[in-house]
Amino acid sequence: MTPDTRTAWNDLLQEFRPPHSDSDPYTPAMWTLLQAASRHPLLRTMYPGLSTTMLTFSRTDDFFAREGERFPVIGAAAGEFGVCAYPVSEDNILLVTDDVEEAVALAARLLAEQLDSSTPSKTSTDR
């Protein structure tokens, strides 16, 4: 985790810490998701992004530099958590569960696979 990603997570957690007003679009399920995701070592190395019902991840805090990133997202609503592959659509929902840790673990595994596949492998001349 870099100081920048640590700050991004801490700011997000502080901003969305309960209590929430009745008109607040952020639900108790989203707070549960934010807490669980912030504890995951890999997810904490990524910049978090938040829409009303989805937590996104990026290598950068610059929205315009995210083109080409196709990381999974985790949704939270009505006590359920869903993991969706990119692009976000009903057809790309991979998991819906009431277990936030299960959703976080799947998203982290998918993210790790994508990061590993995007890292150039070493050739014998690199060693």
Summarize pLDDT for 59-110 with one digit per residue, the tens: 988 877 777 789 999 999 888 999 999 999 999 999 999 999 999 999 999 9
Judged by DSSP in three states, 59 sits in: coil
**Statement: residue 58 has pLDDT above 70:** yes
The model's confidence at residue 124, banded by pLDDT at 50, 70 and 90, is very low
- Between the CA of residue 57 and those of 18, 24, 96, 99, what are the distances in Å? 22, 23, 19, 20
Reported as half-sphere exposure (CB side, CA atoms, 13 A), residue 100 has a value of: 18
Say what the pLDDT of residue 62 is.
82
98 dihedral zone (left: phi>0; alpha: psi -120 to 50; beta): alpha
Say what the pLDDT of residue 71 is.
94
Say what the pLDDT of residue 25 is.
66
Helices 28-39, 3-15: crossing angle, 10 deg rounding: 160
**Statement: residue 122 has pLDDT above 60:** no
The token pair that represents 97 in the structure block: 């569960």
Q: What is the mean pLDDT of residues 24-38?
A: 88
